[in-house]
Structures are given as C-alpha cells and as structure tokens.
C-alpha cells in the first residue's frame, strides 16, 4: 500500500512539473509597484510566487489582477517568476517548495499566512480579511 501511495505522489509531482513547463505567456505587468493607502503603506502584501509557464500559476494571474484592482490602496500584489534569473532568488528567500505559492505579509512585512497551489479567490479574500482588508 505504501508503494502505491509513494508512486502516486511521484506521478503527481512529475505531472505537475511537466505541466508547469508547458506554455510561454508573458508575465503580467510589473506587480512590484505598491497599491497604497493614504498613510503610504498597504495593509497586506500578497506575494505570488510561481511562473508564467506553470498551468496552475497561469490560473492565478486573473485572480491577482482582480485583487489588485478591487483592493487598490489596501493590498500590494507582487509576482515573482521563479523560473527566471531575476525571480529565482525569491524562491529561495521565501523557502518555496512548489509553485504557485502565495505568501501574505502584514503591514510590518511579517508573514501571517501561506498557501501552496491554486488558491480560489473566495478563499484568498478570507485571508485578506484576517488583517482588516
């Protein structure tokens, strides 16, 4: 039984790696520019760590855009493509095990929540509300 479970996990990991290596869309506009409130600081920084070549990561792109628009001034959205030389250091900085990974930082820059994999918007909004967004 253990062998079947291990084999299944390995197959899923290999499929995910293959699926994430397919496609070649360009990254969304620079997400490093903050959306800020009147005092100059966002309430939450939502860091999406993934790749524009990863299928689950691609599905997160519209959600990131919606969050950035709907919560402008309260949430700063940042995207790092860890399959590029520029983004790779962020994978190490945040200790990423798989992509996509969402990291939520409070107004002081401290991580208060982390999620791995595709994150539905409804669930993501619940995490933002934890900090009063």
- The catalytic position among 49, 52, 57, 105 is 57
Two tokens at 65?
Answer: 């855009």
Tell me whether strands 75-81 and 44-50 are parallel, antiparallel or unpaired.
Answer: parallel
Our answer to whether residue 20 is catalytic in this structure is no
Continuous H helices in the chain: 2-20, 55-70, 88-93, 121-129
What is the gyration radius of the CA atoms in the chain, in angstroms? Answer: 16
- The catalytic position among 43, 47, 54, 63 is 54
Q: In this structure, which long-range contacts are made by residues 114-118, counting pairs with CB atoms below 8 Å and at least 24 apart in sequence?
A: 117/56, 118/56, 118/59, 118/60
Our answer to whether residue 54 is catalytic in this structure is yes
Active site residues: 54, 57
């Amino acid at each position: 039984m253990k062998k079947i479970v291990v084999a299944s996990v390995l197959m899923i990991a290999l499929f995910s790696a293959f699926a994430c290596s397919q496609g070649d869309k360009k990254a969304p506009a620079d997400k490093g520019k903050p959306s800020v409130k009147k005092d100059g600081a966002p309430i939450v920084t939502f860091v999406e760590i993934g790749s524009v070549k990863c299928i689950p990561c691609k599905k997160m792109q519209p959600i990131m855009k919606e969050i950035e628009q709907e919560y402008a001034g309260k949430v700063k959205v940042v995207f790092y493509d860890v399959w590029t030389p520029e983004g790779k250091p962020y994978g190490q900085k945040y200790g990423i095990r798989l992509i996509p990974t969402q990291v939520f930082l409070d107004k002081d820059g401290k991580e208060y929540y982390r999620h791995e994999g595709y994150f539905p918007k409804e669930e993501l909004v619940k995490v933002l509300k934890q900090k009063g967004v």
